[in-house]
Amino acid sequence: MQLIHPRDDEALTCLRAMRSVTAGEGPLTPAVRAMMGAAQRLLMATDVDLDTLAPVAPDELARKIATPGLADQLVGALIVGVLAEGEPDPAAFARLEACAAALGVATPALRTVRLLVEREMLLCRLDFLRRSHVVDMVKDAYRHHGGILGAAAAMLGQRGLVEDKALAERFTALERLPAGTLGHAYFVHCRSHGFAFPGERGGFPISGAYHDMVHVLSGYGTAPEEELLVGGFTAGFKRSNPFSMILLVALLWGAGVNLLPVSQPHITGTLARDDNAEKFIRAIERGSRVNTDLSDNWDFWPVLPLPLEDARRRLGIMP
């Protein structure tokens, strides 16, 4: 997922669209203000007063956005903005849909958010999950780890209903690697947080083991504001369906809506606090420089014995 840096004229139009969609005639929310400020500093060559921006109509927006891929990126940013400060306002979402239609962007995420706005929570959850990283893990287990039996074992193992002792032992053996290696750091990370390994009851399927390795490789912790950064970093390196990770963290840590099958703390407006909005954009760009999609059948075993800094260099992970 590569972030596009818009031209100056397009940048101003994008900022106007964010204000028009999320605020309408009212004031910007703190989270959206933080997003727009971070975008100006990191992605745009602008420094405009956000409170003086004129509204932009959908037809004008469509005329002024020309850089390939920018329309999709803008609609994604608008989705994050609508979700950034609690459950979405129906009027803001209607403005978002009008802009997306004018731009010719029909991302499936719009349907998920529409169902949320309509309070169709079961359908919303199903719509999200069928295109989420959860399904990606099950598909990976099916394709690369045992077919239908592997996919079933992946789901049942995470539910704590089955275990694979041989697989679990491969992971627990990482404790014997030298301190400072990726594998040993991953072992310490999981055990110190009480996370089960793949093969243990309640552990991720092996196709999801990359997530906690990403915590170690990226240096981001497990507090909600750092899980936000892990989501951005993961979206950056994902080659397929990267926006699913952006949508996930926007729902969890912006809107305070959990559509996952595991419990999460209820937190809203994370992008408004400290410099989280800027860190989030930096995490996406940092992830985009990784030379491997770590979520797509990545063979991590040869990398685990390496010193952590060597593993980062091999994968193209910048400080």
Res 211 pLDDT > 80:
yes
Pair 199, 160: CB distance under 8 Å? no
Res 158 pLDDT > 80:
no
Query: What gap in Å lies between CA 57 and CA 65, rounded to an integer?
Result: 12
Query: What gap in Å lies between CA 110 and CA 133, rounded to an integer?
Result: 17
Q: How confident is the model at residue 159 (pLDDT cuts 50, 70, 90)?
A: low
Query: Which two structure tokens, joined as six digits, stand for 281?
Result: 């954009």
Query: What gap in Å lies between CA 105 and CA 95, rounded to an integer?
Result: 14
Question: Rounded to 5, what percent of the chain is helix, strand, coil?
Answer: 60, 0, 40
Query: What gap in Å lies between CA 276 and CA 292, rounded to an integer?
Result: 25
**What is the average per-residue pLDDT within 143-169?**
64
pLDDT at position 140: 63
pLDDT at position 48: 94
CA atoms 70, 71, 74, 80: torsion sign:
negative
Res 18 pLDDT > 80:
yes
Res 319 pLDDT > 60:
yes
pLDDT at position 163: 74
Query: What gap in Å lies between CA 171 and CA 163, rounded to an integer?
Result: 13
261-304 pLDDT tens trace: 778 889 999 999 999 999 999 999 999 999 999 998 899 999 99
Query: Which residue is associated with the tokens 């397009």?
Result: 10
pTM reported for the whole predicted model: 0.89
Sorted by where each begins, the domain ranges of the chain are 8-126, 133-240+289-315
170-197 pLDDT tens trace: 999 999 999 999 999 999 999 999 999 9
3-state secondary structure of 181: strand
pLDDT at position 132: 75
- AA letter at 209: A
- AA letter at 122: L
Query: Which two structure tokens, joined as six digits, stand for 317?
Result: 């992970």
145 compared with 43, residue with greater pLDDT: 43
Residues sharing a CB contact under 8 Å with residue 260, sequence separation 6 or more, in sequence order: 129, 134, 248, 252
Percent of the chain with pLDDT over 70: 91
Query: What gap in Å lies between CA 185 and CA 191, rounded to an integer?
Result: 10
pLDDT at position 137: 65
Query: What gap in Å lies between CA 170 and CA 153, rounded to an integer?
Result: 17
DSSP string, 101-149: HHHT---THHHHHHHHHTT-HHHHHHHHHTTSHHHHHHHHHHHHTTHHH
**Mean predicted lDDT score pLDDT of the chain:** 91
Query: Which residue is associated with the tokens 């956000």?
Result: 50
Query: Which residue is associated with the tokens 């063979």?
Result: 299
pLDDT at position 130: 83
Res 23 pLDDT > 60:
yes
